[in-house]
Structure 1
Amino acid sequence: MLHFGEMGSRWGMNRTLGQIYALLYASPEPLCAEDITAALDVSRSNVSMSLRELQGWNLVLLKHRPGDRRDFFTTPEDVWQIFRTLVEERKRREVDPTLAVLDDLISRTAAGEGDRHAQARMREMYGLIGQLTTWYDDVRKLDNPRLAALLGLGAKVTRFLDAATRLGPRRRASKGETGQ
């Protein structure tokens, strides 16, 4: 839990938020705020604020127990769902706003404002982030086994790309294309 707290602070979250998430993830049963407060020795208000933030990230689930009016919290069981949620939330909170700002800056500087070099750099960055976003949109549609297989390929993908690059000109030549 301490490590998750440290990592959370490196990912732009507070330490307690990371520790609460680790506690909930490792717990075999959903926990209520009082359980979390006691386990981590943090204030009840800090736990409440952190739980709301984790809910905002769609990383914790609210559970109810029959006969108990308290709210209990847990994490999704499927690690792939957690991974997908984290990536989607980071994209929504960080990548999408960056694309919007770059788009705005490019459209404003296209009217003659600003430096051509800066404008070219912004267009280049916008293109890269746009390409990554398109790739992400394609990859997120994969089912878990295919996504795991894709991630398992690692550097082997470069061999495929190298082979495709070598075959590319031959294919075009065999079809009578000039390659231009």
Structure 2
Amino acid sequence: MTPLVQTFVSHFGEMGSRWGINRTVGQIYALLFVTEQQLNADEIGEKLGISRSNVSIGLKELQSWGLVRIHRIPGDRREYFTSLGDVWEIFRVVAAERRRREVAPTLSVLRESLLVQAERPEDVFAQQRMREMHDLVDLANNWFDDLQRLSPESLAQLMKMGGKVQKLLSAKDKLFGGGSKDSRD
């Protein structure tokens, strides 16, 4: 690997551990992301200096996230791997998978907890806080649905707007006399 690629791969591995994925998985993904050609497991292990079994485990994890593609070369029994090519597609896949693994179970627990009849004062308070959390997570979840339907170009435009969105909302509030309870207006 070139020093440039080595720096990126190492950093991505360190960041991966902060994002809740194994360092090796992060390194494998980073290598595939910045490598133009398809790589087989042996090549990945050789470039990263990791065992074949660690490569296999990492590739299975990346496959479970939907972040790598498997390719076959006629006459070669090995599998070759590439990362998803488009950064917006990568963003969507990661966001959708995190939603499936983290947000959906949290919403389920919150919904179940809100169905319980609270009898003690501390449970009434707890449910009130859970309702607030549920409403926020549900709102964010619905917003995510809206974002997933946007084209990459529209999503990029929205992200570039940044603080301009707040100015637009403030102007709307001044014109129409305050905010709406229903944020989906």
- Do the structures match in fold with TM over 0.5? yes
Match of 1:94 in 2: 102
Q: Which has the larger radius of gyration?
A: 1
Aligned partners of 2:118 and 2:124 also within 8 Å? no
Indicate the SS of the match to 2:149.
coil
Match of 1:137 in 2: 145
- What per-residue deviation string (whole Å, max 9, x for no partner) do you get for residues 54-108 of structure 1? 0000000001112111000001111100010010001010011111111111212
Match of 1:148 in 2: 156
Task: Find the aligned partners of 1:79 and 1:132 in 2 and give their Cα distance.
Answer: 22
Aligned partners of 2:13 and 2:26 also within 8 Å? yes
- How many residue pairs get aligned? The number is 169
Q: What is the one-letter code of the residue matched to 1:112? A: E
Q: Which ranges in structure 2 are unaligned for 5 or more consecutive residues?
A: 1-8, 179-185
Greater than 2 Å deviation, 4+ residue runs: 110-114
Matched, 1:29 2:37: yes
Indicate the SS of the match to 2:177.
helix
Task: Find the aligned partners of 1:169 and 1:88 in 2 and give their Cα distance.
Answer: 36
What is the CA distance between 1:169 and its match in structure 2? 3.1
Indicate the SS of the match to 1:66.
coil
Q: What is the one-letter code of the residue matched to 2:167? A: R
Indicate the SS of the match to 1:115.
helix
Indicate the SS of the match to 1:68.
coil
Task: Find the aligned partners of 1:159 and 1:107 in 2 and give their Cα distance.
Answer: 39
**What TM-score, normalized to structure 2?**
0.88
Indicate the SS of the match to 1:56.
helix
What is the CA distance between 1:111 and its match in structure 2? 4.7
Indicate the SS of the match to 1:112.
coil
Match of 1:69 in 2: 77
CA RMSD of aligned residues (A): 1.3
Indicate the SS of the match to 1:69.
coil
Aligned partners of 2:69 and 2:81 also within 8 Å? yes
Task: Find the aligned partners of 1:7 and 1:98 in 2 and give their Cα distance.
Answer: 24
Q: Which ranges in structure 1 are unaligned for 5 or more consecutive residues?
A: 171-180
Q: What is the one-letter code of the residue matched to 2:163? A: A
- What per-residue deviation string (whole Å, max 9, x for no partner) do you get for residues 97-137 of structure 1? 111111111212x3536521111000100000000111111
Within the candidate set 16, 37, 40, 1:8 is matched to: 16
Match of 1:175 in 2: none
Match of 2:64 in 1: 56
Indicate the SS of the match to 2:150.
coil
Task: Find the aligned partners of 2:106 and 2:76 in 1 and give their Cα distance.
Answer: 44
Seq. identity, %: 50
